[in-house]
Amino acid sequence: MKILKSRSFQSLKTWILCFAISGSFLAHPATASTLIISGKKNVIIANQSFSNPNGDCVQVTNSSNIQFNNVNIGPCKGNGILVSNSKTLTIVNSTIHNTTANGIALGSSSKINIHDNNFSTNQAGVYVVRSTSVKVDFNNFLNPQGPIPRGQFVQFNGVTGPDNEINCNIGENILGQGNPIDSINIYKSYGTASSPIKVVGNKIKGGGPNKSGGGIMLGDNGGGYITADSNIVVNPGQYGIAVANGTYITMSNNKVFGVMQPFTNVGMYVWSVKPELGPCANISVIDNQVDYTNKLGNKNNFWNGKNCGPILMSGNDFKTPLSASIIDNPIPACAR
């Protein structure tokens, strides 16, 4: 039997045995240090708890075929799980809470599946940088703490290629209990014509008081081939769903509702915030329902900044009243 010992663990109070797919065991004591998985293949970490008052709880580097299943992570004075230069990694049925940095931070990695987890009180829930084939599905998020530039349930930053998605997640920002910005943010990220980045079937409740934050931000500082479909957004902050730049971006079949609050502005908009960063074109707004009240008490359901070229507008309903109860509507795309 092969025993792999972490160089980061020093105390021998409690041993955690994690069965590896290859048939060996990965042994780590449960201490206030970072669990490091470096240069490994075929490892399962299951039914364990990790916390660290001094830094990241878990780091995965240059590894492949790694799985975390039913793991409790936190508190951590750093990231819950930090992943870099790795591939084929799954994080499932786990709880990641009370992290000073992100719940999960990914960099330069591929074929990542993050699903059916619970996140709470993280700087941001899932933060992904320069990666591809990343799926963040069926997770629950509560009260990201920020501050800016973090504060999201999920952010893609420089994510590219096919098979990237943020689908069927449920997130809530309770006013005064966090410091959210955009609940979902797609920043300088590009899907492909045949496989756009998908933001589908997410439920977002609550936001503010940040006067620029909101629900779902697409094309932030550029990007392309992105689709936001069948999301339900209720009282998310300054805006509901928006395109801030980029090309070949679609907002379709979404429902957005917002009551008057001191920071509310507009339910849905298309506007190239920084035209100098690149073109904003080929934007489609189709079959959405929006009922949004701004801070002055006026309906402000949709705004066109008129610098993204002709917008394909079809089948939208900006007149029928909605209510916060739409958050309880089932989403067929998320049926299991």
pLDDT digit string, tens, across residues 97-151: 999 999 999 999 999 999 999 999 999 999 999 999 999 999 999 999 999 999 9
- Model confidence at 2, pLDDT cuts 50, 70, 90, reads very low
β-pairing, 58-61 with 126-129?
unpaired
What is the average pLDDT value for the chain, to the nearest integer? Answer: 91
Q: Which of helix, strand or coil describes residue 153?
A: coil
Answer yes or no: are the C-beta atoms of 290 and 318 closer than 8 Å: yes
- Between 15-29, 52-66, 227-241, 301-315, the lowest mean confidence (pLDDT) is in 15-29
Which residue do the tokens 């349930």 mark? 153
Whether the predicted pLDDT of 235 surpasses 50 = yes
Output the pLDDT for position 32: 59
Output the pLDDT for position 288: 98
Output the pLDDT for position 25: 37
The amino acid that residue 35 corresponds to is L
Whether the predicted pLDDT of 1 surpasses 90 = no
Residue 4: count of CB within 10 angstroms of its CB: 14
186-215 pLDDT tens trace: 999 999 999 999 999 999 999 999 999 999
**Rounded to two decimals, what is the model's pTM?**
0.91
Output the pLDDT for position 65: 98
- Model confidence at 19, pLDDT cuts 50, 70, 90, reads very low
Output the pLDDT for position 170: 98
> Which residue, 289, 298, 297, is CA-closest to 321?
289
How far apart (Å, rounded) are the C-alpha atoms in residues 302 and 137?
28
How far apart (Å, rounded) are the C-alpha atoms in residues 60 and 171?
26
Answer yes or no: are the C-beta atoms of 278 and 272 closer than 8 Å: no
Counting beta carbons within 10 angstroms of the beta carbon of residue 232, is it exposed (0 to 12), middle (13 to 18) or buried (19 or more)?
Answer: buried
Output the pLDDT for position 220: 97
How far apart (Å, rounded) are the C-alpha atoms in residues 243 and 279?
12
Token pair, residue 247, equals 């090309």
Whether the predicted pLDDT of 272 surpasses 60 = yes
Percent of the chain with pLDDT over 90: 89
Answer yes or no: are the C-beta atoms of 234 and 214 closer than 8 Å: no
Answer yes or no: are the C-beta atoms of 157 and 128 closer than 8 Å: yes
Output the pLDDT for position 23: 33
Whether the predicted pLDDT of 234 surpasses 70 = yes
- Model confidence at 7, pLDDT cuts 50, 70, 90, reads very low
Distances (CA, A) of 128 to 104, 111, 180, 197, 210: 8, 12, 17, 13, 23
The dihedrals phi and psi of 303, each to the nearest 5 degrees, come to: -135, 135
The dihedrals phi and psi of 334, each to the nearest 5 degrees, come to: -105, 10
91-103 pLDDT tens trace: 999 999 999 999 9
